[in-house]
Amino acid sequence: MASVSAPLLESIKYSRGSFSVLDQLKIPAELTYVPIYSVADGVSAITTMQVRGAPLIAVVGCLSIAIELDDDLKNKKQLTSIPEFQNYIQEQVDRLIAARPTAVNMKREGTALIQFIKDISHTQQNIDTIKLMTIERIEDLVQIDFQTNKSIGRYGAEEIFRKVNQKVTILTHCNTGSLATCGHGTALGVIRSLHQNDQLEHAYFTETRPYNQGSRLTSFELLQEKIPSTMLCDSAASWLMKTKKIDAVVVGADRVIWNGDTANKIGTYQLALAAKSHNIPFYVAAPNSTIDKTVTSDLSIKIEERSPDEVTQIAGIRISPEGISVWNPAFDVTPGELIAGIITEDGVILPSEIQSSI
């Protein structure tokens, strides 16, 4: 497959030898695509959050490898042996995983890519053919992610509507739509599917401080598709649950471990606690690639801590006094016992079913 593009709002633009990502730091003021010429560019885009969302991070990281491989295949010819090529892939995958370590998808896709190259190297000795096969495998990730998200949206919409049995009013957090994936989205994909089925009454979403993914990105997507929606401050969520008819909460995930404990955007844990208090089912929507059975404790999940400037400044304008101490974790971990179901591309499972289901 030489050319792929994401449907709906395009988070990426890719054709063989050309790759750019939508700079999400500039939304909603402008839609600007940033060219990616190398893995270093991919790492930069991920670290600075020009691209974000666990599924998209994995795709962007792998496509940045494909861009370098295509250049090497056509021009540089620097990777001339299979061992050299395998070492190169391992180094680039390690760099990309380190860019944002809490999200597990890049690790999963990178590990699978390394194994793919080992497997084909047993029967294929032509290094250029191996490079081309690697590029083609990476390119397939775009359509795979889109179809995965469509399935998540379908299963999630079916589950929630079946329980409510009337038009659904729902709350979500952060941005988990086309801007966090290769199209449709995970948690926002569930909302999108409900809307497409004429089963959505209203979607509420948090502004999601400190990076404002809700107020900048989710609002942009919902407005673009004319999905009935209302934004609220993060700190208003509990009062919303008490005073409005909220049928369900659905969020995305950056990592789900063996017992269902889920790492996601900071603020997710408090939403789960509030939902539990108000007897509102709390769902996590995430692809199987987000599930990490190798981690047995939430304490083993590396929680990324980011710059204080993200809290003390908005759009480069300081809103807090110089010298104030800031704690800025990018994620928290919601215990599996607070989660009603995990919506994957294969259906909805209980946190207790992860070990036997995936």
Residues tagged active-site = 254
- What's the chain's Rg over C-alpha atoms? 20
What span, in angstroms and rounded, lies between the C-alpha atoms of 317 and 313? 5
Angle of CA points 269, 273, 276, to nearest 5°:
135
DSSP for 45-90, please give it. Answer: HHHTTSS-SHHHHHHHHHHHHHHHHHHIIIII----SHHHHHHHHH
What span, in angstroms and rounded, lies between the C-alpha atoms of 216 and 155? 27
What span, in angstroms and rounded, lies between the C-alpha atoms of 296 and 352? 13
Q: Which residue has the tokens 């290094």?
A: 127
Structure tokens at 231: 């934004």
Structure tokens at 20: 């750019």
The dihedral built from the CA positions of residue 334, 335, 340 and 342, taken in this order, carries a sign that is positive
Coil, strand or helix at 180: coil
What span, in angstroms and rounded, lies between the C-alpha atoms of 231 and 168? 17
What span, in angstroms and rounded, lies between the C-alpha atoms of 67 and 86? 16
Q: What separation in angstroms does the CA of 26 have from each of 22, 165, 274, 315, 357?
A: 9, 39, 32, 10, 40
What span, in angstroms and rounded, lies between the C-alpha atoms of 43 and 40? 5
DSSP for 243-268, please give it. Answer: HS---EEEE--SEEETTS-EEEETTH
Nearest CA-CA partner of 104 in 237, 217, 253, 238: 253
Q: Which residue has the tokens 């490079």?
A: 131
